[in-house]
Amino acid sequence: MAYIEFRGICKSYDGVNQVLKSIDLDVEKGELVTLLGPSGCGKSTLLRSLAGLEDISSGQIILDGEDITNTPVQKRGIGMVFQQYSLFQNMNVEDNIAFGLKIAKMDKNEIDKKVKAAIEMVDLYGKEKSYPSQLSGGQQQRVAIARAIVMEPKVLLLDEPLSAIDAKLRRELQEKIKRVQKELKITTIFVTHDQDEAMIMSDKIHLMNQGVIEQSGKPVQLYTHPVSKFAAEFIGHYNILTPVDLTAFFPEKRYPGNYYAIRPETFMLSKEPIEDPAYLTFDAKVVDFISRGNVLRYTLQCKDVVFTSEVLFRSFALFEPGATVHVGIEEHNLLRLND
């Protein structure tokens, strides 16, 4: 029996359109799992259902062996961090963190001790008396995390907590959240639409699309073996090709099914013909290239098929637009998709 069990969760706001379509999902104790998906796929609704902030139309939610489907939000023992921080502006950092403990009527000395520990854990020492408006976005989100973990919740829910924060700070906070999660061994569900963030943060990713779980697995597994066109497009910058497209590359071969996915970094580009028999080879023309920091992304064309390839940016562009390149790919990197 898993620590958190979602059983046949359905949710509809208008009785017609289903936001969640019979979701079954297990989360093990101490895991950091991510609900990943585009806007409107139902990931936040599922998270809010677990928190008790959203009623479900049907189904059952079990937490630590107890059915909490109809338990009021206040009694679920869940901590939550929201995208908009949701700090109490009229209270300073200390009071924000202590709020839940005071509601629980905990002893004052105990509250002080716990608040101090939480502040240290999120590195906000010296900011105890500051008000939210005096803090940066990252600091505010750390207060929100401290406010949630100080309650020692059974589950910590993070609803796109880093989406309003700039890239550099986001990386720092990702590490911070991971460290705190590992230290406290707290079961955590993280919601994001950012696949890179999901890859960095998660023990396990559940990819959602249109109210269903499209694919679940470890980050590497999801990245290397997407099962559907949606998963391939969402998780990596896969080239999605039809069997006809592949025939343009390899005229002598025939491919069954509807779609194939090829990761851009699996293509080998060379000025010289590729002799290695492990590679299937063809020629393509360089249409354009862009630099994405340490990676060069080429747009290539073979007959009518346009595709992308990524190589590490070592010195300068290897190929100029208009040049013809030899392209090689190992056959196992042609991933056949289910749909």
The residues of the shown chain that bind another protein, judged by CB under 8 A, are 51-53, 73-75, 78-80, 82, 84, 86-91, 99-100, 103-104, 130-134, 144, 147-148, 151
Please state, in angstroms and rounded to a whole number, the distance separating the CA atoms of residues 190 and 43: 10
Residue 190 CB, shortest distance to another protein, in Å, is: 16
Return the number of the residue (36 or 156) whose C-beta is nearest another protein.
156
Return the number of the residue (75 or 254) whose C-beta is nearest another protein.
75
Return the number of the residue (92 or 266) whose C-beta is nearest another protein.
92
Name the one residue in this structure whose structure tokens are 């979602």: 6
By the 10 Å C-beta count (0-12 exposed, 13-18 middle, 19+ buried), 278 is classed as exposed
Return the number of the residue (52 or 236) whose C-beta is nearest another protein.
52
Return the number of the residue (19 or 262) whose C-beta is nearest another protein.
19
Please state, in angstroms and rounded to a whole number, the distance separating the CA atoms of residues 106 and 44: 31
CA 100 to centroid of chain Cα atoms: 28
Residue 98 CB, shortest distance to another protein, in Å, is: 10
Residue 35 CB, shortest distance to another protein, in Å, is: 17
Residue 41 CB, shortest distance to another protein, in Å, is: 20
Nearest to 235 by CA among 271, 258, 261, 273: 261
DSSP labels for 80-148? EE-TT----TTS-HHHHHHHHHHHTT--HHHHHHHHHHHHHHTT-TT-TT--GGGS-HHHHHHHHHHHH
Residue 320 CB, shortest distance to another protein, in Å, is: 51
* 43 within 8 A of 210, measured Cβ to Cβ: no
Residue 223 CB, shortest distance to another protein, in Å, is: 33
- Radius of gyration of the CA atoms of the chain, in A: 24
Please state, in angstroms and rounded to a whole number, the distance separating the CA atoms of residues 135 and 218: 35
Structure tokens at 86: 């949701």
Return the number of the residue (92 or 308) whose C-beta is nearest another protein.
92
